[in-house]
Amino acid sequence: MVNFDFGDRLRRARKRAGLTQEALAQRLAVGPQTVYRWEAGRARPPKARLPVIARALGVDLSLLAAGASSPATSALPESPPAPRLPLYIMGHIAGTTDAEAEQIDEIEVVPRQARLADSAFVVHGNSMAPYFLDGDVVGVKRQPTAQAGQLVVALADGELTFKRYGGPVGDRGGLLLPLNPEHNPIVAEEIEIFGVYRWCMRESRDGRV
Q: What local confidence, expressed as pLDDT, does residue 4 receive?
A: 46
DSSP assignment, residue 56?
H
Model confidence at 49, in pLDDT bands (50, 70, 90)?
confident
Q: Is residue 206, in this structure, part of any structural domain at all?
A: no
Alpha helices in the chain (DSSP H): 6-16, 21-28, 32-40, 50-57, 61-65, 70-74, 111-116
Q: How far apart are CA 209 and CA 136, in angstroms?
A: 10
DSSP 10-52: HHHHHHHTT--HHHHHHHHTS-HHHHHHHHHTS----GGGHHH
Percent of the chain exceeding pLDDT 90 equals 35
In a shared domain, residues 64 and 114: no
Q: How far apart are CA 111 and CA 108, in angstroms?
A: 10
> Does 63 score more than 70 pLDDT?
yes
Q: Which residue has the higher pLDDT, 203 or 157?
A: 157
Domain that holds residue 135: 84-201
Q: Is residue 46, in this structure, part of any structural domain at all?
A: yes
| Phi/psi at 73 (5° precision) | -65, -35
Q: How far apart are CA 72 and CA 67, in angstroms?
A: 10
Residues noted as catalytic: 127, 163
Q: What is the CATH number of the domain that holds 63?
A: 1.10.260.40
Angle at which helices 21-28 and 32-40 cross, to 10°: 110
In a shared domain, residues 93 and 68: no
Q: How far apart are CA 159 and CA 25, in angstroms?
A: 35
Structural domain tally of the chain? Answer: 2
Q: Is residue 1, in this structure, part of any structural domain at all?
A: no
> Does 197 score more than 80 pLDDT?
yes
Model confidence at 143, in pLDDT bands (50, 70, 90)?
very high
pTM higher than 0.85: no
In a shared domain, residues 14 and 63: yes
Peptide bond into 45 cis (omega under 30): no
In a shared domain, residues 88 and 187: yes
Pairing mode, strands 159-169 and 91-92: antiparallel
In a shared domain, residues 69 and 88: no
Q: Which residue has the higher pLDDT, 92 or 65?
A: 65
> Does 146 score more than 90 pLDDT?
yes
| Phi/psi at 104 (5° precision) | -110, -15
